[in-house]
Structure 1
């Protein structure tokens, strides 16, 4: 097993044609065959890359191989978005009458899928407090097929004990699927803790430049093939150019993540204790209730933190208005620092009842640190906070 820097650069060795150092973009929707026998072969090959781009493409194969190497997985596949990834997983592995356990604190799109869309197809769902490992075990039923996990969670930065949840789920015959978008494989590798599948919104840290929308699924070949067979029906296909952009971003992932980690920790330390701040949510702070768990299952604490303003929504609005370097935008994981008011953003993703149950307060601001100079970023937030009412 190589280190993350080597895996990011060499994980697709052998898949780049013609000796090219920078992989070419294979902008072809379909591929020809020289004989009937060869056509049959490429048409029936699982996750092949030489038949039809909805089935696979050389650029897909390259980026999937690199993420699989980074995650310590056997293989992987790519989709058009992170939600394309988790939705395809759900459709591939669930049937009417099945049951899913999902965290209460998780990305709003995942909540909508689990509590809104899946029940329409006869799949029931139980939401649990992810900080209580026993809650997952108590929620399991004979018909439970999937446990959906995100750690750290979006946007509350709560953690899930991956090993404990995997052990209880497997004892009940359920699979554990982990959203590793926030942590990235540089900071956390869920498969090593017992997870069955890992998925990413490649739009975030993997791509890293806010210029591509993509999803990735990695895991054992048998499970990934089941997901792939559903993906060719649903058609959540990543374009070759987007796959190329995603791979280009991943080449520098370990370098960027180190700066994201450093900036987030420095910013969390600087903001904690400011009179305008009620709470800083960051697993790398000793004040985080699950700091010990973060130290056990993560090698770095990530580039995202939450800041709860004492003045509530008015405080959040004042902070956002006062920042000079940070951009007010959805998404995260960019080279630029991005800030957002989750309560406002989630209102367009989940219904009012679910939103109230998320625990997302009116004063919470989610900060995704970029790769700016640390001192400049800290100075920008301190200056903005000095204008926030207490």
Structure 2
């Protein structure tokens, strides 16, 4: 029976134990026992599917992965201890010395650091393409290019990339398309429908939704995930059973939470659009967003993140952050609590001023992860801080 998204999030679960519990239990064990010598031999020889060691698999992480796979329309997946563990392990498993990555220029600061500071040590190169000029990708492909990578919506400027066009380009050049779907969540967008081979999430964000745990997950084709799994079971970035249990329970409320996030975010964006204290505001489901039509085509709603620029430069920006009373000053997003972040001095501070400007991160840019508080209280706090 093909259930709806919300039903799969609640009713997908591992087998009940002999106690017939209604709520899935936690399996806080590092290892699993075998019936006899032959059972142990056959398990390690992979002649049967079963749990051996929680660095390889655990019932809780397996349930979490199965839910995300159903949500994303993926064949298989692997869960990691953090979003960046998922990003690094996915690339490290698939790439060899001499390979080349084609990436959108607008990406998370830590991913940029990975490409520029660490991968060159292993002779893995990268090139950036502009998010508003996907046609230039064809000219950047080399004989060593193996992957196209992008976020949509982007961090922190909530720009939108045409996933269908990226899928067509990747297929034409026989490249692996990897999409970071963290800002949208699988409830709002499923990149595999548009041609992505792999989808990455930081489970720390909307999947958890309450700022409690770190997690990451990569899902996609069985063949690619098998390569990632075999690399990861050796290198050990696996998600803990406890965090997997928390996330699996969190996914049961993902749809209702994200609906409210998006409702609040759109109202905040509409309020800011007419505010005299800012230069511009950007939100995917605002009609003024340059990629509004594409966002409407590939997303169910606009997500939880609103970006805007305070008038008056650094001094005005500092005053704004210091004047916030209710909302949180933090570097996370996707939390039930609204979070206000200054990307230039926090999440993207490792980029040079020129690199930040090239992806639209100005000194006065503010990123708001809109939470679940009453929208009037969110607006009032931001309004008084701007004023």
1:274-353 to structure 2, matched below 5 A, reads: 274-346=275-347, 348-350=349-351
Aligned match of 2:52: 51
C-alpha distance in 2 between matches for 1:128 and 1:142: 17
C-alpha deviation, 1:316, in angstroms = 1.9
1:263 aligns with 2:264: yes
State the Cα distance separating 1:355 from its structure 2 match.
Answer: 4.1
> Partner residue of 1:384?
385
Aligned mates of 2:47, 2:283 — CA distance in 1: 41
Q: For residue 17 of structure 1, what is the aligned residue in structure 2? A: 17
Return the offset for 1:354.
4.1
Task: After TM superposition, list the pairs within 5 Å mapping 1:181-330 onto structure 2.
Answer: 181-330=182-331
What displacement does 1:61 show?
Answer: 0.3
8 Å CA contact 2:108, 2:348 repeated in 1: no
Q: Where does residue 372 of structure 2 map in the other structure?
A: 371
1: CA distance between counterparts of 2:351 and 2:281? 24
Report the count of equivalent residues.
385
Deviates more, 1:94-103 or 1:135-144: 135-144
CA root-mean-square deviation: 1.7
- Distance 1:33-1:106 versus aligned 2 partners, 3 A rule: same
- 48 and 153 in structure 1: CA distance in 2 versus 1, 3 angstrom threshold: farther
Contact kept in structure 2, 1:49 and 1:57, CA below 8 Å = no
TM-fit CA distance, 1:48: 5.4
Structure 2, unaligned runs of 5 or more: none
Deviation at 1:136, TM superposition (A): 2.4
Q: Secondary structure at the match of 1:346?
A: coil
> Does the 8 Å contact 1:50/1:57 carry over to 2?
yes
Equivalent positions of 1:86-165 (< 5 A) are: 86-165=87-166
Task: Provide the residue aligned with 2:76 in structure 1.
Answer: 75
User: What do the CA deviations read for 1:177-214 (whole angstroms, capped 9, x no partner)?
Assistant: 01000000111100011100001000000011101000
Residues of 2 paired with 1:73 and 1:11: CA distance? 15
Q: Does the 8 Å contact 2:192/2:199 carry over to 1?
A: yes
| Cα shift readout 1:10-39 (whole Å, capped 9, x = no counterpart) | 233x44434322111111101111122211
Cα offsets for 1:252-289 (capped at 9, x unmatched)? 11010000000100000001121111010111111111
8 Å CA contact 2:178, 2:199 repeated in 1:
yes
What stretches of structure 1 of length at least 5 have no aligned partner? none
- CA shift for structure 1 position 141: 1.8
Q: Secondary structure at the match of 2:230?
A: helix
Question: Given that residues 141 and 172 in structure 1 are in contact (C-alpha distance below 8 angstroms), is that contact kept between their aligned partners in structure 2?
Answer: no
Separation in 1 of the partners of 2:209 and 2:362? 28
Name whichever of 307-316 and 60-69 sits farther off.
307-316
Task: Note the C-alpha offset of 1:362.
Answer: 0.3
Structure 2 match to 1:362:
363
Report how far residue 131 of structure 1 moved.
Answer: 2.1
C-alpha contact (below 8 Å) 2:42/2:48 kept by paired residues? no
TM-score if structure 1 supplies the norm length? Answer: 0.95
Using the TM superposition, give the Cα deviation of residue 359 of structure 1 relative to its aligned residue in structure 2, in angstroms: 2.9
Task: List per-residue Cα deviations over 1:326-379 (Å, max 9, x = no partner).
Answer: 100011000000111000013554466644544311000100011111222122
The whole-number CA distance in structure 1 between the counterparts of 2:16 and 2:317 is 47
- How far apart, in 2, do the equivalents of 1:166 and 1:46 lie? 36
Moved over 6 A (4+): none
Contact 2:356 2:362 in 1 (8 A): no
